[in-house]
Amino acid sequence: MMAGIGFTFYEFFAGGGMVRAGLDNGNWDCLFANDFDRKKCESYTRNWGSDTLVCDDVAALQTFDLPSRANLVWASFPCQDLSLAGGGAGLGGDRSGTFWPFWRLMDALIADGRAPDILALENVSGTLTSHGGKDFEAICQSFVKSGYRVGAVVVDAALFVPHSRPRLFVVGVREGVAIPRGIIGDGASAQWHPKALRTAYDRLPSACKDFWLWWRIAPPALSDIRFADLIEETPVSVKWHSEIETQKLLSMMSTINLAKVHYAQRAGLKMVGTIYKRTRHDALGQKVQRAEVRFDDIAGCLRTPGGGSSRQTILVVDGNTVKSRLISTRETARLMGLPEDYCLPENYNEAYHLTGDGVVAPVVRHLAEQLFEPLLQATKWRRAVA
């Protein structure tokens, strides 16, 4: 697509460009992308080229590094310090704390007369409860102080792909951006504003609530894609386990989890389950490693591979035949809604890290259709008739 046609965006903490994949429908032009991780930048370049990418610390960027003016700025800033599985450092941590230099850059852009129409942040749902809600409050206050009305939604990728991945999306609109009435609700909705978000909103100071928006989003069409449909018979990135390795995995299961396997064997059709290894206490109170399986045709949330137990294993049950292996890198890409021609790193851990640390592309597409594009189209129409 030619520059200047449709809508423009910057993509911060871009990873492998999964936001760009979600916006890649001919209506959006990427003006700038940034990430600090060299390996991720290599993947971004392989898939999107290097014309718009700057591989550097966001704290080192200046407004002159950012070309033109973007309608949308997206930032999927690191989640490690906000995650419920993290150390609890929150926005004061080394990783999630990169929010602050990013926002300082946005304020400098605003002072330069190039305020983006829309600012969108993505992170884990743990952001809502981090430090008793204070980190979420700090994010919302940043929007308001910078001249933006703000709202948030929690979207589970399972609505689009067979992948359990709930994420928080905070979306702010600049003063002067036309807001169609159809995309604002009178209050919270059960689907997009779960209890944790409503509680976080209740804790906000009145100065933030005065600028709050309850985004109204239509539900997506029901997906008929099953996790079993995404499984490779002959994967390149991984090998099937030996029979001994599979039996060892089964031996690590509790009675309840073994019962799930036996039920799958009696189902009369091929079933694919996903396994995570977790540390549990046995009947004597001693810590043991357990293999926990689910057969709901939805993959568990992909995570970055910090250790062997964080890699997802699949279990394929077809009658008396039971096979297992690590999930393949192409399968993880499919769970993130990436196209088949998306280029992945050859190294397994690098590819798993890339996908496990990304944003699901169809979720981005839905937010664009439901929020970003209606907002920008309404503003463009208002400016045209002014």
Q: What is the pLDDT of residues 43-90, one digit of tens each?
A: 999 999 999 999 999 999 999 999 999 999 999 997 876 766 556 788
**Count of CB atoms within 10 A of residue 237's CB?**
19
Alpha helices in the chain (DSSP H): 18-23, 38-48, 99-111, 134-145, 195-202, 206-209, 243-251, 255-266, 329-335, 348-356, 361-367, 373-385
Average pLDDT value for residue range 17-30: 95
Q: Which of 193, 66, 183, 203 is nearest to 134 (CA)?
A: 203
> What is the model's pTM?
0.94
Evaluate whether 159 touches 221 at the Cβ level (below 8 Å).
no
Amino acid identity for residue 202 in this structure: D
Residue 5: both structure tokens together: 């046609």
Question: What are the residues facing 291 on neighbouring strands?
Answer: 277
Concatenating the DSSP letter of every residue in 187-256 gives S--TTTS-HHHHHHHHTS-HHHHTTB--B--PPPPPP---GGGG--SS-SS--PPPHHHHHHHHHTS-HH
Q: What is the pLDDT of residues 246-268, one digit of tens each?
A: 999 999 999 999 999 999 999 98
At residue 90, the pLDDT reads 80
**CA distance from start to end of the chain:** 28
Percent of the chain topping pLDDT 70: 94
Amino acid identity for residue 316 in this structure: V
At residue 87, the pLDDT reads 64
Residue 127: both structure tokens together: 């952001």
CA angle 231, 236, 241 (to 5 degrees): 70
At residue 81, the pLDDT reads 67
CA angle 354, 358, 363 (to 5 degrees): 145
Evaluate whether 91 touches 97 at the Cβ level (below 8 Å).
yes
At residue 238, the pLDDT reads 97
Sign of the alpha-carbon torsion through 307, 309, 312, 314: positive
Q: Cα separation of 361 and 157, whole Å?
A: 9
Distances (CA, A) of 217 to 17, 45, 153, 176: 24, 33, 9, 21
Burial of 229 (0-12, 13-18, 19+ CB in 10 A): exposed
Amino acid identity for residue 369 in this structure: E
Distances (CA, A) of 248 to 57, 116, 284, 318, 323: 44, 54, 22, 19, 12
Whether the pLDDT of residue 152 is over 60: the answer is: yes
At residue 347, the pLDDT reads 96
Higher pLDDT, 42 or 85: 42
Residue 90: both structure tokens together: 């929150």
Evaluate whether 23 touches 365 at the Cβ level (below 8 Å).
yes
Q: Cα separation of 340 and 342, whole Å?
A: 6
Evaluate whether 100 touches 53 at the Cβ level (below 8 Å).
no
Evaluate whether 371 touches 319 at the Cβ level (below 8 Å).
no
